[in-house]
Structure 1
Amino acid sequence: MLVGNVKKNSISESYPFVVNDVLSKLNEIDLSSLPLGRHELDGYDSKKLWFVILEYHTSPLSDFHPEVHKYHSDLQILLSGTELMAWSIDTGNHPHFGDYNDTRDILFYESDCVNLNIMNAMPGDFYLFTPNVVHITNVINKEPEFVRKLVVKIHNDLLAGVL
Structure 2
Amino acid sequence: MIIDSLENAGKYTSVHPSFAKAFEYLNSQDLAALEPGKFVIEEGTLNAAVSAKEGVKTEDAKFEAHNNFIDIQVCISGKEKMGWSTRSQCTNPVAEYNPEKDVIFFNDTPGMYFELLPGQFAIFFPEDAHAPMIGEGVIKKLVVKVKKA
Q: TM above 0.5, one fold?
A: yes
What are structure 1's unaligned runs of at least 5 residues?
158-163
Match of 2:147 in 1: 155
Corresponding pairs, count: 147
Distance 1:87 1:8 in 2: 22
Structure with higher Rg: it is 1
Match of 1:123 in 2: 118
Counterpart check, 1:90 vs 2:82 = no
Superposition RMSD on alpha carbons, in Å?
1.8
Percent identity over the alignment?
23
CA 1:63/1:26 → structure 2, altered by over 3 Å: closer, same or farther?
A: same
Amino acid at match of 1:150: L
Deviation at 1:23, TM superposition (A): 1.5
TM-score when scaled to structure 2? 0.89
Counterpart check, 1:72 vs 2:64 = no
Residues 70-124 of structure 1, C-alpha deviations (whole Å, 9 max, x = no match):
00111000111101111000116511102211111000011xx344210011111
Contact 2:63–2:110 (CA under 8 A) maintained in structure 1: no
In the TM superposition, 1:5-154 aligns within 5 A as: 5-8=5-8, 12-15=10-13, 16=15, 18-41=18-41, 44=42, 46-91=43-88, 94-110=91-107, 113-140=108-135, 144-154=136-146
Distance 1:50 1:104 in 2: 13
Distance 2:11 2:64 in 1: 29
Amino acid at match of 2:22: V
What are structure 2's unaligned runs of at least 5 residues?
none
Residues 113-138 of structure 1, C-alpha deviations (whole Å, 9 max, x = no match):
34421001111111000000010010
TM-score when scaled to structure 1? 0.82
Amino acid at match of 2:100: T
Contact 1:83–1:139 (CA under 8 A) maintained in structure 2: yes
Amino acid at match of 2:24: S
Amino acid at match of 1:13: K
Amino acid at match of 1:18: S
**Poorly superposed stretches of 4+, deviation over 4 Å:** none
Distance 1:108 1:13 in 2: 31
Amino acid at match of 2:19: V
Amino acid at match of 1:79: I
CA 1:63/1:93 → structure 2, altered by over 3 Å: closer, same or farther?
A: closer
